[in-house]
Amino acid sequence: MTQGTVLIVGAGHAGFQVAASLRQHGFAERICLINDEAHLPYQRPPLSKAYLKGEGRPDSLMFRPDKFYREQNIELIADRAASIDRAARRLSLTSGSSLDYGHLVLATGARNRLLDIPNANLADVRYLRTLDESEALRQRIASGRFTSECLRLNGQLVRAAHSRTLLISLQYARSEAICTMRGARRCRDRVRERGATLRSVTLPNEIPTTALPSP
Ligand SMILES: Cc1cc2nc3c(=O)[nH]c(=O)nc-3n(C[C@H](O)[C@H](O)[C@H](O)COP(=O)(O)OP(=O)(O)OC[C@H]3O[C@@H](n4cnc5c(N)ncnc54)[C@H](O)[C@@H]3O)c2cc1C
């Protein structure tokens, strides 16, 4: 492999593992991990399972503690990639600074698809992908204010009103999240898969505001 700074955009599982594996296999040049989340790189699967249920602290989700990055000389840069100049081999960051690279790894993962139906932007419609989103939901579950929640889970809409939960999956049902919530709040649930037939299956035309009393 040609030597030179390795810039890794995205500090999810993929980005973290690239950095860790490079060091593990003896790569000695500069490694920068561009992290646009306000946490050390962490694992997402527990966000809809044990963590959501209230088990563990944020630290338990981290792939490695802070000292790992120092010891391995992996620079965690709290910023976001804005543009790439491939000819100059330069990455611009939203902060305004830029970094030159020998190798550029794009590990930017995925983001939730937004639901484009009326009322999908109500305050109680929630998405679940990040640690902060799981934390906020976990606190609401713990506080017992969960009976009128909607959340969007990795492309899925979950509605819980008066102890009933409706989960609509755009990809595949993350039924473990429903089970978690049901276990936590005794929710009854219905699960509808949408999958590839996104526009042809039964969906609410809108989220009725009357089903979502203010918390
Ligand atoms: C709630 C939940 C539960 C899951 N449960 C399971 C499970 O049980 N089993 C399983 O196999 N998988 C599960 N997954 C999926 C698994 O977490 C993903 O497959 C995995 O996170 C993908 O890792 P990634 O590094 O490719 O992308 P991501 O985890 O999406 O990480 C990409 C990172 O890049 C950042 N980024 C994006 N753009 C930029 C930019 N311009 N500049 C800097 N950074 C940027 C993002 O903010 C993010 O931090 C779950 C996912 C979620 C959300």
pLDDT at position 186, please? 47
Residue 83 Cβ < 6 Å to ligand 1: no
Which atom of ligand 1 is closest in space to residue 93's alpha carbon?
A: 42
Residue 199 resides in a domain: yes
CA–CA gap between residue 193 and residue 196 (Å, rounded): 9
Place of tokens 């017992």: 144
Q: Is 136 or 34 the better-scoring residue by pLDDT?
A: 34
Residue 36 Cβ < 6 Å to ligand 1: yes
pLDDT at position 24, please? 97
Is 140 found in the same domain as 85?
no
| Whether the predicted pLDDT of 121 surpasses 50 | yes
Q: Which residues contact 161 (CB under 8 A, 6 or more apart)?
A: 147, 148, 211, 212, 213
- Reported as a single tens digit per residue, the pLDDT across 25-34 is 999 999 999 9
Residue 154 Cβ < 6 Å to ligand 1: yes
| Whether the predicted pLDDT of 135 surpasses 70 | yes
Is 176 found in the same domain as 146?
yes
- Reported as a single tens digit per residue, the pLDDT across 193-209 is 444 333 333 345 555 55
Residue 50 resides in a domain: yes
Is 134 found in the same domain as 86?
no
| Whether the predicted pLDDT of 120 surpasses 60 | yes
Predicted confidence band of residue 145 (pLDDT cuts 50, 70, 90): low
Place of tokens 């969007």: 152
Residue 56 resides in a domain: yes
Predicted confidence band of residue 35 (pLDDT cuts 50, 70, 90): very high
Is 129 found in the same domain as 102?
no
CA–CA gap between residue 167 and residue 195 (Å, rounded): 13
Residue 1 resides in a domain: no
Is 102 found in the same domain as 130?
no
Distance 209 CA to ligand 1 centre (A): 31
Structural domain containing residue 58 = 6-106
What is the residue-wise DSSP string for the chain?
A: ---SPEEEE--SHHHHHHHHHHHHTT--S-EEEEE-SSSSSB-SGGGGTHHHHT-S-GGGGBSS-HHHHHHTTEEEEE--EEEEETTTTEEEETTS-EEE-SEEEE-----PPPP-STTTTSTTEEEE-SHHHHHHHHHHHHHT--TEEEEEESSEEEEEETTEEEEEESSS--HHHHHHHHHHH--EEEEEE-TT-TTTS---SS--GGGS---
Residue 113 resides in a domain: no
Report, as an integer, the average pLDDT of 62-77.
98
Distance 109 CA to ligand 1 centre (A): 5
| Whether the predicted pLDDT of 112 surpasses 90 | no
Model pTM score = 0.81
Residue 149 resides in a domain: yes
3-12, 56-65, 119-128: least confidently modelled range: 119-128
| Number of domains within the chain | 2
